[in-house]
Amino acid sequence: MRGRLITFEGIDGAGKSSHIDAVSQWLTQNGRQVVVTREPGGTPLAETLRELVLHQSMDPLTEALLVFAARRDHLQQRILPALAQGCDVLCDRFTDATFAYQGAGRGFDGPLLETLEGWVQEGVQPDVTFWFDLPAEVAAQRRAAARAPDRFEAQDTAFFARVRQGYLRRSQQHAQRFVVIDALGTRDEVWARLSSALEERLA
């Protein structure tokens, strides 16, 4: 049986990363083999590209091309082989982040991103996407308590408000695979919402 590609999305500070290990444990307890990975990154080449994208200044088209180049390598070298072996692949961010950050955040052209998506993914889409949704102001307060920001985390609240709108648009265009998780509240409250969604979508 082919594995499932399960992606996790949200603006910086939404708290998605802290739940991925718990989802991995939940799947393992349900008898699944699991691979946990992230974007940009997940292979040596893609991790090198991640360093550039997160820390070097560049124009929005260069940024979009680099995240798609990283994604192509990640899909070919790691994601597709793991799915073919029957593993569930948990990926911390995927293409919805490109539409949200490079598209809505940087103001980059949607149709061009769709063209790149088609070339790079050749029809591959996540089976389920958990979008941790949080107002940009609340995410900014959470980020203020965290470590030194990268190029994206250093953006202002207006940028993240646009990114959130970008996720909203993608969730409407891809309603079947999107599960919206209200990310307000404590970690336990968010986990309670996520675990009932897991029962519904992945059991």
Binding site for ligand TYD (CB under 6 A): 12, 17, 39-40, 67, 92-93, 97-98, 101-102, 152-153
CB of 18 to ligand TYD, least distance (A): 9
DSSP symbols for the chain: ----EEEEE-STTS-THHHHHHHHHHHHHTT--EEEEESS-SSHHHHHHHHHHHHS---HHHHHHHHHHHHHHHIIIIIHHHHHTT-EEEEES-HHHIIIIIIIITT--HHHHHHHHHHHHTT---SEEEEEE--HHHHHHHHHTSS---TTTTS-HHHHHHHHHHHHHHHHHTTTTEEEEE--S-HHHHHHHHHHHHHHHH-
Nearer to ligand TYD, 30 or 112 (CB): 112
Nearer to ligand TYD, 66 or 82 (CB): 66
Which residues, including other chains, have CB under 8 Å from residue 34's CB and lie 6 or more apart?
A: 24, 27, 28, 87, 88, 89, 90
Nearer to ligand TYD, 155 or 193 (CB): 155
Tokens of 110: 């949607």
CB of 101 to ligand TYD, least distance (A): 3
Nearer to ligand TYD, 17 or 125 (CB): 17
Nearer to ligand TYD, 32 or 153 (CB): 153
Nearer to ligand TYD, 37 or 98 (CB): 98
